[in-house]
Structure 1
Amino acid sequence: MKTFVRTMLSVSALSLALAGCGSSDQGQQPQEGATGGAAQGAPTKLVISTWGFSEDFFREEIYAPFEKEHNVEIVLEIGNNAERLNKVRQGNSNVDLIYLSDYYAQQGIEDGLFETIDRSRIPNLEEIYDIAKAPLGEEYGPAYTVGQFGIAYNPNLIETEIKSWSDLWNPELAGKMTLPSITSTTGPMILDAASMVAGNETFNEDQAFAKIKELNDGVVKYYDKTSEYVNMFTQEEIAVGPIMEMYFKDIQAAVPDAKFVSPEEGGYAVMNTVNIVKGSKNKELAEEFINYQLSKEVQEKAAKAKVDSPVHKGLTLTEEEAQGITYGEETINKLRMLEMKMVNDNSKTWIDRWNREIIQ
C-alpha cells in the first residue's frame, strides 16, 4: 500500500522578483500577445470558473487591478466543484482558468481536461510554501491557498483538553461528537486519521474502518455540510468534531469560548488549486494571472480579509490578522497531505464500505 500521507518540509526561499500586478516591486511587464496587445484595443476576455464566495472582495481587490493592468475583462462562471468540473467535461464551457479543490482537480487531470503549465512564466512559485508548489504534479497548477482540517471543541461542555487526533476516542466525548461523512471533502482525512490512531505509519484500510466503528455509537451525526456542523455546535447538540479552520470563525461568533486545535500529529492540508483548461486561447495570460494570484500583494490582501489562508512565505501578519486562517511556517510544515490519486482510485470502494459498515 502506498503511503497515504506525507509531511511536507520547507526549503529556503529563493530571491526572485515578484511578478504580480499593482506595485513597483512586482516588475514583470505583460508580454506582447499575452494580453491581447497589452493595454491597447478591446479588452481580452479571461473566463474564470470559481465558487463565488466573497465575490465582491475578489472583484474589487483582486480582479479589478489585473483587468486594469492587462486590459482584460474577467468573466466568472460560478458553482460548486462538481458542477463546474462537469461543465468542462461536457464541453459546455469556454473557461480559461478553473479553481478547484485538490480532490476535484485530480479528477480533471485524470480526465485530461487541463493544459500543462510553463513554470518559467510563474516565478512567484519560488516564493510559496513547498506544499503548494505542485500538489498534483509539476505539470499542473499550484495551490493558491492552503488551509487545515483540525478539531474544534467547546471547553464548557467537556473536560477533555483536545490535543491529538487520538483524543476523539476518549469515552467522555461519546454522544457529543460529529464526524464528516466519507462523501465530504474531509471524509478521507478522518479515515486516514483513524488509521494513524490505530498505530499505522502507512494507510491501513481495515484498521481505519475498525477504528471508526469504535466511535460509531457516540457520533451524533456524520455531517455532509459545514453548515450542519455549525448549527449543531451552536445548539450544543455537539461539543467537539473535526472541521476546516476557515469555518471556525462562524463557530466562534456563536460560541466565543470555542477552541480550534491543530492536532499534535498535524492537521490535514486543505488545498484549493488553479489550473488552465485545455483548449484555452489565453494560456499565457492565464499563466500571468496565476503568477499574480501568488504574488505577495494578492496573498496579503486575501489573508488580511480572512478570505484565504496564504501560501506566500514572505507575509508577516500580526496575531490578530492571522486569527482564523492557517498561517505560519511551523503550522504549514506540520500539515499532513493526502495523496489525491489514491483517494480518487479508492473513493468508490470506501463509500460502499462506509455505507455497509458505518451507516447501518
Structure 2
Amino acid sequence: MTTRLSLRHFNILALGAAAAGFLPMQARAAGGLVAATFPGNWEDGYRRVLTPLLSEKGFDLTILPALAQDQLAKVMASPDAPAFDTLLMSPGQGAVAIENDLIQKIDPARLSNWDKLDPAFQGEYGPTVTVEVNGICYNPGLVPRPAGYADLFNKPEYAGKVSWTGFGSNTAVMAYTQLAKIFGTGSDDMEAVFQLFRDHPDQLNNVVDSTNSQMTLFQQGEIAVFMCSTGNVAKLKSLGLNAEFVHPETGSPAAPVNIHLTKGSQDVDAAYAYMDAAISAAAQTELMAPPTATFPTNHDVALTPEIEQYVTREDLPNLVYPDWTLINQNRDAWIRAFDAVVAG
C-alpha cells in the first residue's frame, strides 16, 4: 500500500531522526573511525569496499547511514563532540557545513591518490568521490518513456503513477528547481511548483520520505516513475527490475559528492586513510560495478560500458549544476511550504 506523507508522518520521521542520533554515540563507544554515508547503495558499498581497505591499514571503520541534512543536524547539535569523524555531502550541505565551521580544510599531502583526481575534484575541504547524475526512472512496462519533467504533469498516462519526496532530498530539490524553470519564472519560483501539485493532486498520492521508500514502491509495482540518480536505476536493474533512466530534455541535474573532515574528529589519521581509500583506483573500480555503479573521479579508472550508457567524462561539463547558494537561502521555507501542500 502506498504511503502518503502527511504532517503526522513528517513528525514521526523527525522523531525517528532524533532517536537515530544515539547511534553515533554507540559507535563512539565501540571506538574507531565513524564515517557518515548516505543510506542504501552508499552504505552497502562503502561498508563492503572500504571497511577491508581500512582494516589493512590498521584502522577500524564504522559506517553510519544518514542523509546529508541529518548529518548536518547531528554535528550542529554537538559541534565540540561531533557525531561523525567524516561527512559525505553534496555542495548544498557542504556550504552550510563550511559556514558553520563544522568541517576543516584538508592537507592534500596526506592523500597518496590526490594527484589521480582532476583539479575539479580536488576540493580544499575534501576530495570529490563521485558525481551523482540525476534524472527520471521509469518502468517501460507500465508507462511510456517521458521526455522530461513536464510530461509527468501534462500527460494523463502518468497520473497517479509518479512518486515524489520532500525538499530535504537533494535529488528532489534539484528536480523541483527544474520544474520551477519549466512552469515558473526561474529556478527559485517554487510557488509555481506548489501550485502545480495543487492542480494535480494525484501527484501527492505517492509522496514518501526518501528515495529508498520509492525504490521499494517501484519494486512492488505501486509506482512507475520517480526522480533518481543513475545509481538507483543500476541497483533496480541488478535486482532484475524493468527500470530505465531518462536524461530530462531540460538537462540532467548533477551534484559532486565530497568526503569532509569534521572539526574535532577523534581520529584524523584514520579519516585521511578513509578519504584516500575512497578515491583509490581499487575502491572506485569496485564501486563502479553494479549494484552501486558510482561514477569514478580517479582518472586512472576506465569507465565501463554500463557507466558510459549513463554518462561519460565528456558529459560532465554539460550537466545541470544547481545554484546551491540560492537553494540554501530558501530551503527551509520550501520545506515548510511543501509540507503544507502535502498535508492539504
The answer to whether TM tops 0.5 is: yes
From 115, 121, 138, the equivalent of 2:104 is 115
2-structure distance, mates of 1:130, 1:215: 44
Any conservation in 2 of the 1:49–1:78 contact (CA below 8 Å)? yes
**Matches of 1:214 and 1:255 in 2, distance apart?**
35
In structure 2, the CA distance between the partners of 1:162 and 1:126, relative to structure 1 (3 Å rule), is farther
**The residue matched to 1:260 in structure 2 has which SS?**
strand
**Match of residue 343 from structure 1:** 327
Tell me, yes or no, if the aligned pair for 1:189 and 1:268 is still in contact at 8 Å.
yes
Instruction: Tell whether 2:146 aligns with 1:162.
Output: yes
2: distance between equivalents of 1:300 and 1:342? 35
What is the alpha-carbon distance in structure 2 between the residues aligned to residue 231 and residue 66 of structure 1? 32
Q: CA 1:257–1:289 in structure 2 vs 1: closer, same or farther (change >3 Å)?
A: closer
Distance 2:152 2:159 in 1: 9
Structure-2 change in CA distance of 1:235 and 1:78 (3 Å): closer
Write the deviation string for residues 135-174 of structure 1: whole angstroms up to 9, x where unpaired: xxx4x12321222221111222224x32323222332212
In structure 2, the CA distance between the partners of 1:234 and 1:133, relative to structure 1 (3 Å rule), is: same
The counterpart of 1:98, out of the listed 58, 79, 87, is 87
Q: Distance in 2 between matches of 1:232 and 1:285?
A: 38
Q: TM-score, normalised by structure 1?
A: 0.70
Quick one: distance in 2 between partners of 1:142 and 1:123?
12
C-alpha change, 1:125 and 1:203, in structure 2 (3 Å) is farther
The match for 2:159 among 174, 177, 182 is: 174
Stretches of structure 2 lacking an aligned partner (at least 5 in a row): 1-30
Q: Which amino acid aligns with 1:278?
A: K
The CA distance in 1 between the partners of 2:257 and 2:213, in whole Å, is 22
Query: Which of these residues, 242, 252, 259, is aligned with residue 227 of structure 2?
Result: 242
* Counterpart position of 2:24: none
Tell me, yes or no, if structure 1 residue 206 matches structure 2 residue 195.
no
The CA distance in 1 between the partners of 2:165 and 2:45, in whole Å, is: 29
Q: Which amino acid is 2:99 matched to?
A: E
Contact 1:48–1:75 (Cα < 8 Å) also in 2: yes
Please give the per-residue CA displacement for 1:207-265, whole angstroms capped at 9, x wherever unaligned: 34344444433443112222332333234332222123222244335664321112233
Name 2:242's counterpart in structure 1: 257
Compared CA separation, residues 283 and 258, structure 1 to 2 (3 A)? closer
Alpha-carbon distance change, 94 to 201 in structure 1, aligned in 2, over 3 angstroms: closer
Counterpart in the other structure of 1:186 = 171
- The 5-angstrom pairing of residues 124-139 of structure 1 reads 124-125=113-114, 127-128=116-117, 132-134=121-123, 138=124
Deviation of 1:176 (Å): 2.0
Query: For residues 112 and 231 of structure 1, what CA distance do their matches in structure 2 show?
Result: 37
Task: Return closer, same or farther for 1:359/1:310 CA change in 2, 3 Å cut-off.
Answer: farther
- The structure with the greater share of residues assigned to helix is 2
Q: Determine if contact 1:48/1:98 at 8 Å carries over to the other structure.
A: no
Q: Cα gap change, 1:218/1:349 in structure 2, threshold over 3 Å: closer, same or farther?
A: closer
Residue 357 of structure 1: how far off its partner (Å): 4.0
Q: Deviations over 1:249-301 (max 9, x none)?
A: 44335664321112233322244321112134754664454344223332112
TM (norm. structure 2) is: 0.73
- Alpha-carbon distance in structure 2 between the residues aligned to 1:218 and 1:64: 43
Matches within 5 A, 1:139-154: 140-154=125-139
Mark the CA change 1:180 to 1:279 in structure 2 (over 3 Å): closer, same or farther.
Answer: closer
Assess, with a 3 A threshold, how the Cα gap between structure 1 residues 275 and 217 changes in structure 2: closer, same or farther.
same
TM-aligned CA distance change 1:98 to 1:175, over 3 Å: closer
CA distance in 1, matches of 2:193, 2:119: 29
The Cα of 1:195 is off from its aligned counterpart by 1.4
Return the alpha-carbon distance in structure 1 between the equivalents of residues 86 and 342 of structure 2: 38
Counterpart amino acid of residue 217 in structure 1: D
Alignment of 1:228 with 2:213, yes or no, is yes
Q: Which residue number corresponds to residue 258 of structure 2? A: 273
Q: Show structure 1 runs of 5+ residues with no match.
A: 1-44
Name the % identity. 23
User: Quick one: distance in 1 between partners of 2:237 and 2:171?
Assistant: 21
